[in-house]
Structure 1
Amino acid sequence: MKMILMMMTALCCTVQVKADDQSYNLDTIRMEATIDATETYQYLKPTYQKGVVVTSPWNGNWFVNISGGTNAFMGTPLGCEDLFGRMQPSVGLAIGKWFTPSIGSRISYQGFNFKNSLLDKQEYHSVHADLLWNVLGTLYREDNELRWNLFPFVGVGMIHNKTNKHNPFAISYGLQAEYSFCKRVALTMEVSNATTFQSFDGQYRKNTLGDHMLNATVGLSFKIGKIGWKKPVDHLPYVQQNEWLTDWANSMREQNQVFSDRIDIQQKTLEQLKTILEIEGLLDKYKYLFDNENISQNKYPRNNYSGLNSLRARMKNSKWDGKSPLVSVSSETDNTNTSSTGAIQTDIASFANDSLTQSLVEGQIIGAPIYFFFEINSSQFKEESQNLNIEELARVAIKHGLHITLIGAADSSTGTATINEYLSKARVDYIADKLISKGVDSARIAKVFAGGIEEHSPNEANRHTKVVLSIS
């Protein structure tokens, strides 16, 4: 009766502690959104800003234009000949660069012969720098290069009359159309005019604009250097992802605090129950309930090195009959003399339910396997001290000519099947390379890739490579 009263007291204490926690009111509805955040962790495919390009570098989007056609000089005074009677051949050469799909510049040369107002043939040369504006440049798309380009231009320069040695200032302007055969070659058609002073042909006034050199040409344009345009990456998706991850991390922090509070409450309840059991004298009987070492879900599989101990026992037991199993001595000291037998014979039937001992009886596997644990999503040891096991395994395997089987595994609760398969292989290869570097023959190493498993608890214990020694 007294025991029942004590248990009821502990239960009441638990209820009282929970009642003091305001976050667990029974009349409160708590809604939690469950979302699959896997896609949010994935690498974002870049998207690009529309209608924006990065300015071309100094070595990109250059062009050279070669053209030929006809010119007609319209001076002051005009003279008696019509437009077609004034036509003379002309040639042109230009080199320029596009800074964006819409804006560019060039330096252009034009020249040959022309007829002045008196219809006398004279030779001229014109050099001018032009600013180009492609009216179709805003239609540029990285995956769809424009075939047609249409750009008006305006510029300034000098025009030289070789006959009378005049070199007046000139203003150039016009319109050029371009059709691209391919990425580097295009057909060009241009209509332009150069306006200069009336005294250019030796007739009429100085310092007064009035003479015009009309040109109509057709040519080829060749693009040199790097061509094409880069668009700036749109940063907004990355900003949004970063904000989401920040909110998600804050949410996880809040949930972690909730679980931490629950654990504190449970811990207080267990302490009270432990006090009651101690008062009743029942603590020794129920001690296992409070022993953290016996709670399997909080442990890794214990590595007791029974495989190596069993191997040592076999090597020391020169009188072993080769059939009955060996039970290795669990502890040895350097200051005491142990028997050369190192193990005892036992009834084989008593080992019928022990798969490792059965394998030993069959003369294959020696002792229990040895586990090596790894960090999550990695093929690096969880603790560097595990390298000591590598050295001991290599020494024993080389000395006695043993075979080694490596079985790699990953935690199936994290990662995809493909990633887990890769990790299990990487972890096996990592240990195999270490054994080979210690002198183990690679022909004596067998590899098994288990992929993702869920055999052990906690989940971290599944991130391992198991090593099995065998005679054959």
Structure 2
Amino acid sequence: MMKKSILAAFALAAVAAPVCAQTEQAGTMEETIEYSDDKYKVETNHFWDNWFVTVGAGGGLFVGDHDRQIGLGKRISPALDIEVGKWFTPGVGLRLGYNGLSAKGATRWSEAHSTGKDVPGWNGGMDYSKFKYFNLHADVLLNFSNLFCGYNEKRIWNSSPYLSVGWMRTWEAPTVGNITMSVGWLNTFRLNKALDLNLDLRGALVDDAMDGEMGGSKFDGMITATVGLTYKFKQRGWSRSKTVIRSNEAAIRDMQERLDRATAENERLKKALEEGKNTDTRSIVKKIVASSLITFRIGQTKLSNEAKANLQLMAEVIKKEDPNTVYTITGYADQGTGSKKRNEYLSKKRAEVVRDYLIEELGVPAAQLRIDHKGGVSNMFYDDPRLSRAVITRGE
């Protein structure tokens, strides 16, 4: 019986040895797409993706030399916004547009866009003024909602401050044109995939001569508030960051089959040794121990149902084997994805998850388990990155 058991032990070693060898396994390579759970990572879009056009209407408030001499209501005029732009990332965009219509104020110069109507209390020394203007501008948009909270296609409200440079010019004599600097706040409210309701607040600063009268202050300004709609052209939005994993499914199945055969052979040997009741033979049992390979999805530490099933089979073997055998649970991560610090965390956490499941759920004695972790490794088995995102348990 001892001779038979020893021969069987050698047979088991021959079956299990290829499990840890790095060999080329014939089989069909299959692609698996795994999407990242990181809400700050998205796929880079194409040039013609995420374009939009905006039309809005509202009111404008001109800030000039005689604001204190006329009422606020006399200075409000209609405003129009028309813009076209593109989001290059969920957080950064650029748009070009037209902003303007007309502005109202007051002037002491009759030739400076005077309406000919006197401002009360000035005895003809000041007239109301009105002029048409336009502001062509380029805006750099920063979507704070996506930058600070992560990309969410279905978010109802997005807040996007922006900086702008443009060219403002009056339509009517005396015509004046000058560079404008603006700051603004674009608020968009999602209606559906294609449409947003938007509230756009803008403050523009321009040279004092814009209203046709000079000498009061160094700059004039225009504050506008418009409400409108934004239409988003296809392709809209961003896809989650993804990793294409090419794996040899035949090699994985072959490895699992080898492990299953090794476990079955281990059980057979144990029964044979028990029947022989030979002390020397039983010493061999201590060296015939269970081992397992559990794989994880990219960036995750959660056990799959398949992994739990394999661990249950292994736990049954551990509890039936020599109680003095100690099993080392070693965690690994794929060096090709993630930072060194992230892979250290993943490999350690994965080992802890397997240990805790064996102890808490399957009743394996804690004294028989110890953990280790190796951080990120490269292609442990069959040149397949998926097999590097693993926990390997071996008995000693």
**TM-score normalised according to structure 1 size:** 0.41
Give 1 or 2 for the bigger CA radius of gyration.
1
Q: Whose RCO is larger (CA < 8 A, sep 6+)?
A: 2
Higher strand share: 2
